[in-house]
Structure 1
């Protein structure tokens, strides 16, 4: 088309195109503070030109422009910066989780302080030293009992409080699993919507912004790998994480088969199977069997989501791994996946029950909040084990000197006992959680043995040897769950020495050992180093994340001054195109109405 009507159409195209640009600018300004919003830009291009025909077959003065159009509205996004931010979010989530719980454990230990466990250990042995000076008095004996009670109560308290820390970490794992599955479902829905819009040759910019915001949130929970597909679709998996135990070929999000994806389930209970004698049932290899309970998608609001797996054999190492992890892979319906990524069908039952041959694939990510909470559970188990070693070393060594024997079976008056022991007076399976003073001694402090058998009222020789246990070198670090008093004294303390000049046997000691107080201080120092490391990484990650997010904001963020400048520019362009239309209107009036005169 040529002539005035062609010019009119050019003005109209400019008017409409500038209006779309202004609409895009207005959308940017309106969403300047919207989280996850990416600045959008209307791409202008010339429309198809028109060639004026001529009698000799050649164009007159070449092609004639026909105006402008908006080819597409694109969002400004840097994929590399997105990758960097998500990598840093994973590390930040990992150490933020550790920092939260390690600081809580530090508060439980309350060291160094005048009321902490280290101080109570010193006061405990100090009370025995004072007793050796005035062994005939009940007052000094009462002080020993009270200091012993303070020590055992503090060990019990720390043991229980650290156990609560582990429960809190497990609660956060459960909540993270639930949230992660919800996010994955939302991403899957957005992914399908984006593909549908893109197939229609439109750009779903706002939908992609929402999807990217959810991907950022998901990456803070565990590491993810994102593969871009056609029509702006994506696949999301953990294939890049070699520690995630991702079943082969299964994605968290798929563009083609959106229902053929994996999800996470939370293991809520691992209960040992007990026989008629009350002892754990063992399999042919000697490993205990367990009934395991998990909830689909981590959703414990309904019993319909509960699934039970009966008679699963777990070695001690496998039990600890599952107990500290608590997350397993399932399909979208909540059925367990095996190591090949295949769905296992549950047998009939309400709730459904898997056969006893069921295998579970644990999810152990290398980063993210889940990694932080799982690693804290490992730390808690380690600190509980160290507390138990401390309790055993104190109980076994004091009982050995108090009873003058390394054999608990021949000890007629234990000082420290396991308060949960069915007999009420044994030291078997003593831990920091159940260590207590013999009730008979608490009821009658005169039962405390302070000297050699048959000694006089002022004989405090046995009390002084117990007091000196504080400085004895014992291999506390080598104590295990199966260590009893006999193996501890003979193998880890160098045995009992022959009676000294006062007729009292005492511990020999080993040069490769350590003092009980020093052992506990080493535990506290290691905790302090771990907490400082977590805090340092969190602080460094804050700076790194801030840097990357500022870089991403400089690319994708809305700068109001720039948008206002663009608005003024396209406003003038809109007005100029309006002027062209008005001018052509006047010219057409001259041509049409002027010919009548």
Structure 2
């Protein structure tokens, strides 16, 4: 009797094990298209045998574990490639927009407009007596300045778009880190209970894959399935973002929304490099309760880095921390007097810090790095465009006014052709940029004010001044040496012959100079090379990442053909075990009912 009941138990265990295997197989099939899912496999082992004569007798089978199939080395490779891919995609996306903004050498591009402007001056020099030739000069010049204004504005818009992507990345990153931290604790709890949290592990791995596209990460495995997650910071080393042991001693990120010059007690803008830097804790701009303003002094390089980076290392509550990891609370100020009101840590409002106290996140790879670094390229193109605008204004104004220095002296009939739209005076000429350059409104309204000839009373057919301006097309100017503070006299130093409004001032070529057209062509060609390199990098890394993903999928992905084959195998085994139970039932019925006869 005991033998038949033992056989019955073996059949039950067999059915239970095969049922578990069918459940796992059906789970795999159901998640065949689930992003981040790793196929699971049932491991079976024999149960403890019973001791009988002449030896041990097997008691059946049981499921010892349900494990997921995963290659950690491929995970590492995919995440490293994700970071590189994110970096190159970010660069390629932005540089392609910049290339579109410049509009290359098309019919409506700057290069074509520059040629048209000088051509109109040449036509004016040969027909100075015609009023329409003066009108064409004014209109073509205005079209050029409008195009420069437009490009400048669009480049600023592209840069603002980069900042918007960075802001959203900060919010997404902090959210993913919180989810990973929570999953860490859930996984440990399941592991400590002796079970395998396969689906939780998949969720954590998927989040880590997504996070690796934002910046480079390193993962340290800990006991009971826990992980420490760190971000590689190019300036300070690794930043611990998640710890296996739940703790508040981890870092998060906050977003700098604005950097504006501070104002003194009278409301005047301060010019000593003092700025009000406003950031939002954890990048959450949905409430002003998350808003914190720090008043600090920044050098030009520190301002550029903060403007392009925008991501501050913060504590778990989102408050910015210094390089030692301490929360910036305004109680300590390194160098100089404390600016503004000191408030305690944890409070909202104004915080006072030295320009070197905060910790700016500097990822070495990933989407964040791509959008941060490409802003430096945008700033470079803006500066080059500003140099172009200044060189056009300085050179044309010098010949048109007959002076190598800017002047508003109407007594000598000085008239600048190009002006700063925000400050249309001689003092504003040094602040001309591609964003504010325009044709003098007096000339736009009355093209007859354009100076065409020379002498106190130029003749009706005297086009010598217009011809001199037309020749600027082929003059090599020191455009690359222009700085934001350069004046007309700085620009023309060593390449001009002084004159006055009634005489002709000529500009000679500089040995190390460039023509206006060639300078812009150099900008466009350099941009084209950068875009081509970025696109090629994206193509190459797309292929590499695709191969790695294919390798990982071949190991961790669900094969429906394989799962269907397993399902048939488990089905047959289940049916066979059921047959054993049915046979034992018949035998028991024979023994029990047979005794009655």
Shorter-chain TM-score bucket reads: over 0.9
Structure 1: distance between partners of 2:82 and 2:48: 47
**Tell me, what secondary structure is at the counterpart of 2:542?**
helix
Report what 1:267 is aligned to.
256
Question: How many Å apart are 1:545 and its aligned residue?
Answer: 1.7
Shift of 1:146: 0.5
User: Of the candidates 478, 482, 487, which is equivalent to residue 479 of structure 1?
Assistant: 482
Alignment check: 8 A CA contact 1:93 1:369 kept:
yes
2:107 to 107, 114, 122: 114
1:101-500 aligned at under 5 Å gives the runs 101-238=94-231, 241-243=232-234, 245=236, 250-275=239-264, 276=266, 278-282=268-272, 288-310=273-295, 312-345=296-329, 347-348=343-344, 351-357=348-354, 359-409=357-407, 412-421=414-423, 423=425, 426-454=428-456, 455-490=458-493, 494-497=494-497
CA-to-partner distance for each residue in 1:364-384, whole Å, 9 max, x for gaps? 212211111112211111110
Report deviation, 1:163. 0.6
1:106 Cα deviation (Å)?
1.3
* 3-state secondary structure, aligned to 1:227: strand
1:498 offset after TM fit, Å?
Answer: 6.7
What is the CA–CA distance in structure 1 between the aligned matches of 2:359 and 2:2, rounded to whole Å? 72
Change (3 A) 1:480 1:499: closer
Q: Measure, in 2, the Cα distance between the counterparts of 1:528 and 1:85.
A: 30
Q: 2:519 & 2:347 partners in 1: Cα distance? A: 51
For residues 308 and 548 of structure 2, the distance between their equivalents in structure 1, rounded to whole angstroms, comes to: 33
Q: Which runs of 4+ in 1 moved over 6 A?
A: none
The offset of 1:13, in angstroms, is 1.2
Q: How many residues align?
A: 576
Cα distance 1:131–1:277, how it changes in 2: closer, same or farther (>3 A)?
farther
Report deviation, 1:444: 2.1
Unaligned runs of 5+ in 2: 331-342
2: distance between equivalents of 1:519 and 1:172? Answer: 32
Name the SS of the counterpart of 2:158 in structure 1.
helix
Deviation at 1:535, TM superposition (A): 1.4
Q: For structure 1, which runs of at least 5 residues remain unmatched after alignment?
A: 53-59, 283-287
Asked if the contact 1:188/1:258 (under 8 Å) is kept, the reply is no
Question: How far does residue 3 in structure 1 lie from its aligned partner after superposition?
Answer: 2.0
Residue 352 of structure 1: how far off its partner (Å): 2.7
Q: Is the 8 A contact 1:21 1:42 kept in 2?
A: yes
- TM-score norm. by structure 2 comes to 0.93
* Change over 3 Å in CA distance of 1:133–1:281 after alignment to 2: closer
Does the CA contact (< 8 Å) of 2:233 and 2:361 recur in 1? no
Cα offset, 1:588, TM superposition: 2.5
Aligned to 2:336: none
- Whole-angstrom CA distance in 2 between matches of 1:581 and 1:17: 14
Q: Which residue of 2 aligns with 1:556?
A: 556
Which shifted more, 64-73 or 540-549? 540-549
Q: Does structure 1 retain, via aligned residues, the 8 Å contact 2:430–2:485?
A: no
User: Contact between 1:90 and 1:222, CA under 8 Å: does it hold in 2?
Assistant: yes
Deviations 1:58-111 (A, max 9, x none): xx3332211111011000111111111111111121121122221111111111
Scaled by the length of structure 1, the TM-score of the pair is: 0.93
Match of 2:529 in 1: 529
Work out the CA distance in 1 between the residues paired with 2:235 and 2:186. Answer: 29
> What is the DSSP-based 3-state SS (H/G/I as helix, E as strand, rest coil) of the residue aligned with 1:236?
strand
Give the secondary-structure state (helix, strand or coil) at the position aligned to 2:242: coil
Instruction: Indicate if the aligned counterparts of 1:244 and 1:366 stay in contact, CA closer than 8 A.
Output: no
Deviation at 1:586, TM superposition (A): 2.2
Q: Post-superposition shift, 1:353?
A: 2.3
Instruction: Report how far residue 165 of structure 1 moved.
Output: 0.6
Per the TM alignment, residue 410 of structure 1 is displaced from its structure 2 partner at its CA by: 6.8
CA distance in 1, matches of 2:354, 2:429: 38
Measured in 2, the distance between the counterparts of 1:356 and 1:579 equals 80
Q: CA RMSD for the aligned pairs?
A: 2.0
How far apart are residue 244 of structure 1 and its match? Answer: 5.5
